[in-house]
Amino acid sequence: VQLVESGGGSVQSGDSLRLSCAASGLTFSNYRMGWFRQAPGKEREFVATISRGGVRTYYADSVEGRFTISRDNAKNTVYLQMNSLKPEDMAVYYCAADQRSVGPMTRGRVDYWGQGTQVTVSS
């Protein structure tokens, strides 16, 4: 199984970025997908998740209204559109796959992780 993130980069506060995560080696539509992030010196934290069919989404309070998660099951890809970026959003962003369909998506319940992509936001 491989989850490969792309789209990270360096932006200024208020800018936007779109992250992508291409999955292979698994039946993508059988997995709830999500994004986590980890800032230096901090624990990896949940950002957003999307259900297998893409109908249900859930966000961390810190990104609600600014970030949008979506998926294309035909392309085995999940996206994270990040708008109005803030310096506190700066972190390595990780794609995650979880075969469970209910309950919160926590670090301990993730079946597969991507390698991460860096997002840097300057004020």
The model's pLDDT over 104-114, given as tens digits with 9 standing for 90+, comes to: 899 999 999 99
* Encoded amino acid at 18, one letter: R
Which two three-digit tokens encode residue 26?
């698994």
Measured in degrees and rounded to the nearest 5, phi and psi for residue 89 equal -85, -10
Distance of alpha carbon 55 from alpha carbon 23, whole angstroms: 19
Closest CA to 31 of 110, 121, 103: 110
Q: Is residue 37 very low, low, confident or very high in pLDDT (cuts 50, 70, 90)?
A: very high
Closest CA to 62 of 96, 35, 88: 88
Which two three-digit tokens encode residue 3?
């989850």
Contacts of 29 (CB under 8 A, 6+ apart): 52, 53, 73
Q: Is residue 102 very low, low, confident or very high in pLDDT (cuts 50, 70, 90)?
A: confident
Could you read off the pLDDT of 54-100 as tens digits, one per residue? Answer: 999 999 999 999 999 999 999 999 999 999 999 999 999 999 999 98
Residue that has been written with the tokens 């994270």 in this structure: 80
The answer to whether 82 and 66 are in contact (CB under 8 A) is yes
The answer to whether 6 and 117 are in contact (CB under 8 A) is yes
